Amino acid sequence: MGLLRIMMPPKLQLLAVVAFAVAMLFLENQIQKLEESRSKLERAIARHEVREIEQRHTMDGPRQDAALDEEEDMVIIYNRVPKTASTSFTNIAYDLCAKNKYHVLHINTTKNNPVMSLQDQVYEFGVKKKPIYINVIRDPIERLVSYYYFLRFGDDYRPGLRRRKQGDKKTFDECVAEGGSDCAPEKLWLQIPFFCGHSSECWNVGSRWAMDQAKYNLINEYFLVGVTEELEDFIMLLEAALPRFFRGATELYRTGKKSHLRKTTEKKLPTKQTIAKLQQSDIWKMENEFYEFALEQFQFIRAHAVREKDGDLYILAQNFFYEKIYPKSN
């Protein structure tokens, strides 16, 4: 190849380089078109499946067993926060849905917009009862670091997918030292808005009202909120409380190949100096306060539901019974 390059006239060498560059651009463009076509096909299939489910709900006749009908009329909403082990958790739901006989619908919002438009905020399927809300959150700095490297290097779930910041080799430490926008304290402001609601104030970075509202919603609107660092315990509690959906989830998490499914590649842990600099921010203090609040609440719930023995956790047996039942039966 080297001999061929030497023997070629300069003009032909330039022409060969240009031709190669054009071919590579064409190939990359074709790959991009294939990705877009695949995404469109997936969305079309998803819409078709949703319509089928809607038709079943409207066409099925009334069931004879009203209690069973009430039990089936249940929706769980998991408004997943990015980079909190959400893929690991949702894949457990996917693996169990056929066995436990329920449907999983993934709402793919345009450009991953965390706020849905007013016209999209409608209840489907004629569900009468209020949905059950669950979620998982993570240490704010650890979540941001993971997201930072994810945008640059992707993960082991879809390693061939081109990421938005691909090619940027700058470490998180270097970004913080230079005051970059992708690692600014404002980027920490995410978990509070996810729990705050649809008020515009929720996205006002550093809003004390937003944090207080997020805490209120976590306690009053969410059935259970876990933390990434204790994901197995979160899954165990869900299986105990909602076996209709999560029967078998704990064993699947412990033994399945998907328990740590999505790992961000090339991730480098930040230095103590970098962490200390971020922790000086009032934004970090508020996000961390919310995280600690959620962690304390989760550990409180867990303490009243499980016991530890020989390093393993076990769900407590039912610790109540009914008595003084009136009126007395004859």
Both structure tokens of 315: 């769900």
- At CB < 8 A and 24+ separation, what contacts does 86-90 make? 86/136, 87/157, 87/261, 87/262, 88/231, 88/253, 88/258, 88/259, 88/260, 88/261, 88/262, 89/136, 89/231, 89/234, 89/235
Question: pLDDT per residue over 200-251, tens digit each?
Answer: 999 999 999 999 999 999 999 999 999 999 999 999 999 999 999 999 999 9
Q: What is the pLDDT of residue 4?
A: 47
* pLDDT for 74: 86
- 196 pLDDT above the threshold of 80: yes
* Residue pLDDT, tens place only, 2-21: 544 556 677 777 777 777 77
DSSP-assigned letter for residue 152: H
* pLDDT reading at 133 higher than 90: yes
> Going by C-beta distance under 8 Å and a sequence separation of 6 or more, which residues neighbour residue 316?
305, 306, 307
Tens-place pLDDT, residues 72-123: 778 999 999 999 999 999 999 999 999 999 999 888 766 666 666 656 665 5
Instruction: Specify the pLDDT at position 43.
Output: 61
More confident residue, 258 or 247: 247
Superfamily name with CATH number, domain 70-315: P-loop containing nucleotide triphosphate hydrolases (3.40.50.300)
DSSP letters for 31-85: HHHHHHHHHHHHHHHHHHHHHHHHHHHHHSPPPS-HHHHHHHS--EEE-PPTTSS
Q: Where are the alpha helices (DSSP H) in 154-230?
A: 172-178, 191-196, 208-220
Could you tell me the pTM of the whole model?
0.74
pLDDT > 70 in the chain, percent? 70
pLDDT in tens, 45-79: 655 655 565 555 555 544 445 555 566 778 999 99
Separation of alpha carbons 256 and 245, rounded Å: 18
What angle, rounded to 10 degrees, do the helices at 231-241 and 282-303 form? 50
Question: How far is Cα of residue 79 from the mean position of the Cα atoms in its chain?
Answer: 7
Q: How far apart are CA 36 and CA 56, in angstroms?
A: 31
Q: What is the pLDDT of residue 3?
A: 46
| Closest by Cα among 272, 278, 250, 256 to 182 | 278
Confidence at 281, pLDDT banded by 50, 70, 90 = very high
**Would you state the pLDDT for residue 89?**
94
On whether the CB atoms of residues 252 and 95 are closer than 8 A, the answer is yes
Q: State whether residue 184 is helix, strand or coil.
A: coil
Among 324, 306, 322, which Cα is nearest to 314's? Answer: 306
Q: Is 135 helix (H, G, I), strand (E, B) or coil?
A: strand
Strand partners, 312: 309
Residue 175 to residue 179: CA distance in whole angstroms: 6
* pLDDT at residue 290 tops 50: yes
Sequence-separated (6 or more) residues with CB below 8 Å from residue 151: 163, 164, 165, 182
